[in-house]
Amino acid sequence: MLDTNKLIIEDKNGKIYLEWHVSHRSNLDHDWLDDGRDIEFSNDDAIWDIFDLGLVIETLVKNIEHKTPEGYKKYFYNEETLKSEDSKYPKEDRYLNRLKIFERNGWEKEIKERFRKAKHMDDFYSLWKSKKFGNWEWNSLVEEKEWDGMPPFKIFFEWEYPDYFVFDRLIPYENEEDLFYLCSEFSEEGAGAYSKFNYFNEYDLESYVNDSKASAKRMAIEELMEKIEKKIEKTVIDEIKTKTKAQEDEWFERQKNQKDLF
């Protein structure tokens, strides 16, 4: 019988102590994965990113809006942005004053909007890593074996949060909004996640910048080719007109000469 996963979170005078004992994958209801298939974490590096990038604070605290430094307010939902930031999938009221975590959605085709969200998350990650939201540290402990990419292991996380946060654990209503479930879900190797946590990671922005540059370069080449084609077309038309005019002049000259003979 597998041990139960344990998540222990304590707030002691403005410092959060977290222990996460990962004894098995979170989606044990998918018991068919235990028939000898090669399995892996469904959501890539999320089990580490949740701490290293600061995503975990969504589940731990709410911000006090009037106390939050002006430049940091944009990283947390207020009453307006709950409904407007993701108009197709507006957040429910329990996300008020919690961290925004933008995800890459298939329906979002506008590259400017994807770039905006990637930039937003990248800026937050930079602030978190430079400990602008308070001192934090985390480490992992593999239990009595060399790390092979599988449980069991433990994660320890500590965060001394600033006075514009208040400890308030988010109680998820379903697995799709439980970061700890999503981060410890497993799937068949190469098959992808069942409950995808498709957050913008810290490499997306650079990728979008490169894509934008490549796109701009392609557009410039296409515009240049269009200009060249138009110029060639105009040259050919001018040549045809000139040739046609010369042929017409030659014909009229012949007609005139024939008349002169009579």
Greater model confidence, 218 or 58: 58
Residue 74, pLDDT score: 97
Residue 57 has pLDDT above 80, yes or no: yes
Separation in Å, CA 109 to CA 57, 112, 208, 242: 29, 9, 13, 49
Provide the whole-model pTM: 0.77
Residue 157, pLDDT score: 98
**Tokens describing residue 87:** 């108009």
Residue 201, pLDDT score: 86
Contacts of 193 (CB under 8 A, 6+ apart): 42, 43, 182, 185, 187
Cβ atoms of 5 and 24 closer than 8 Å? yes
Query: Residues 63, 133: one domain?
Result: yes
Pick left, alpha or beta for residue 89 (phi over 0 → left; psi -120 to 50 → alpha; otherwise beta).
beta
Placement of tokens 């933008």 in the chain: 102
Q: How many domains, in total, are found in the chain?
A: 2
Residue 24 lies in a domain: yes
Residue 89 lies in a domain: yes
Greater model confidence, 11 or 243: 11
Greater model confidence, 228 or 81: 81
Residue 211 lies in a domain: no
Query: Residues 122, 39: one domain?
Result: yes
Query: Residues 198, 220: one domain?
Result: no
Query: Residues 24, 113: one domain?
Result: yes
Question: 170: which DSSP letter?
Answer: -
Query: Residues 131, 155: one domain?
Result: yes
Per the structure, the complete domain to which residue 222 belongs is given by 216-262
Query: Residues 102, 143: one domain?
Result: yes
Contacts of 45 (CB under 8 A, 6+ apart): 201
